[in-house]
């Protein structure tokens, strides 16, 4: 499996490489819906959060605020999500699924489940859950803090 690349030494290279591969596999499973993996992720997270402020959503996704804004554009253009101003704090905008967006998301969940169970089957369900836990740990602010400032216990 090409054990001789920097990805065997550099976790960053390794994770990006695996990202590309997994992105392909999941996207194929998404099929003709025309939506990307990231878009499914976003729709699902928005659905779960209800009506998150952009800032909060960006943080949850571990994504730059402006990157989130850009990424939402096609979804807004296609009428899957919409932005609503927060009446309490007029700096804040909240994202929510439109009716169309909810339908699309539900459709995608079914397809996603196929991809996810294939992954679990090939990689092993237990190892899969463990991998997600490890990745969530890496994605946490605590991890970033320890990385940047050293482990001071």
Contact residues: a second copy, CB under 8 A: 1-26, 28, 37-38, 41, 44-45, 48, 60-63, 112, 115-116, 118-119, 121-123, 127-128, 131-144, 146-148, 150-151
- Can you give the three-state secondary structure of the chain, one letter per residue? CCCCCHHHCCHHHHHHHHHHHHHHHHHHHHHHHCCCHHHHHHHHHHHHHCCCEHHHHHHHHCCCHHHHHHHHHHHHHCCCEEEEECCCCCCCEEEEECHHHHHHHHHHHHHHHHHHHHHHHHHCHHHHHHHHHHHHHHHCHHHHHHHHHCCCC
x/- binding map, residues 55-94, to DNA, per CB under 7 A? xx-x---xxxxxx-xxx--x--x-----x--x--xxxxxx
Choose from a second copy, DNA, none: what does 137 bind? Cβ within 5-8 Å by kind. Answer: a second copy
Pick out residues in 1-30 that bind DNA (CB under 7 A): 16, 19-20, 23-24, 27
Q: Which residues bind DNA (CB under 7 A)?
A: 16, 19-20, 23-24, 27, 36, 38-39, 53-56, 58, 62-67, 69-71, 74, 77, 83, 86, 89-94
């Amino acid at each position: 499996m090409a054990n001789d690349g920097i990805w065997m030494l550099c976790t960053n290279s390794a994770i990006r490489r695996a990202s590309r591969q997994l992105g392909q596999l999941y996207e194929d499973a998404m099929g003709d819906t025309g939506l990307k993996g990231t878009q499914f992720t976003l729709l699902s997270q928005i659905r779960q959060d209800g009506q998150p402020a952009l800032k909060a959503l960006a943080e949850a996704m571990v994504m730059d605020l402006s990157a989130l804004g850009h990424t939402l554009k096609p979804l807004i253009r296609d009428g899957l999500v919409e932005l609503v101003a927060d009446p309490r704090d007029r700096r804040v905008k909240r994202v929510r699924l439109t009716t169309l967006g909810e339908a699309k998301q539900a459709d995608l969940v079914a397809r996603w489940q196929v991809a996810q169970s294939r992954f679990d089957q090939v990689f092993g369900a237990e190892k899969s859950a463990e991998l997600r836990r490890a990745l969530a740990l890496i994605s946490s602010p605590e991890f970033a803090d320890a990385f940047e400032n050293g482990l001071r216990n």
